[in-house]
Structure 1
Amino acid sequence: MHWSDQPPPFEHWTEMLGSCRRSAVHLEMRDAYAVTDEDVLLQAWKAGHREDPDDRDSWWRPWLSLVEETTGRGVQMRRARIVSEPVTEYIKFEYDGTFTNIIAGEQVRWLPRRDASSLALPGNDFWLLDDERVIFNHFAGNGAETGHEWTDDPEVARLCETAFDTVWQRATPHEDYHPR
């Protein structure tokens, strides 16, 4: 395993997703994140701003272009979110902006935490690329990013693949989920 105490730069994500051939899946299990890149967006959302689906230029960001390029090559991108209900303000913010991920080509599902009690899950959020490479995301208690852990250990990849697939099967597609 490799440990990094800094989040990977965007160029690294471009390289990682650019090397994907089949799939990139992401499991999120926190009820709040304090990701620096989202600060301005979150504050605007709290002040009442909502993205206009018809004004793509106002909300399209480099990450969404990368998702669109990746899915355009035939790579399946899926994201599952395990959330406590009632949901936090942050999850409401995420939910309101998820249409942008979907327009870019990502599939998103939501699983209420109470429906995940019987699942064996890794201790951290992760990305699994092509069912072979795992990137664990580490966060402080306040939701700030503290680094990443990378591995291509086949047993760890299988654990994450099984966990994600089980969550995906139980989870509700974004268009059918209504946070409470």
Structure 2
Amino acid sequence: FAFVIFMIAGFAETNRVPFDLPEAENELVAGFHTEYSSMKFACFFMAEYANMVTITCVATLLFLGGWHPLFPAPYSNWVPTLVFLFAALLSFGMALNPARKRDRTTFPFFGAAFVVLAVIFAVPLFQPVLVPIFWFVAKVGALLFTYIWVRGTLPRFRYDQLMHFAWTFLFPCALLNLLLTALCVAIF
């Protein structure tokens, strides 16, 4: 419950769809970035994405368990190895695809890099250090995917709809969450 409220507030804080009223990219040619080019434009864009990464890192630490794996330790230590082996298999398979002639030279390098990563993650000496990093980055990546997915699927709200949603749904839900949490802390 708190995670959903936090993520909606994160969307609003980063001015992502459906909370992108200050930008209104659909109404302007390139949004408020029309005056900027080159490095100034890149700095604005990098700041937006750095804000997204920061919010997803905080959400991962607070709500998703941070660096702790999703499965018990004996099984979760081998998940990164299997993921990288699967990525290597996909890369080598894409390199063999006759329709992708340009990728025949690049995908084998990606496949070899994934095999090297799988071997490194398979070494038991490195697992206590690398497996938590893998899980943290995987959870942050899943939340970043959610950010991009929501931006691509939801429409932008009108100002009155957004204010109605914030005051009649989000604010009462946040207060209810605060009261329930305080009650649980007081009782237990």
Q: TM-score, normalised by structure 2?
A: 0.22
Greater helix content: 2
Greater strand content: 1
User: Rg larger in 1 or in 2?
Assistant: 2
Q: TM-score, normalised by structure 1?
A: 0.23
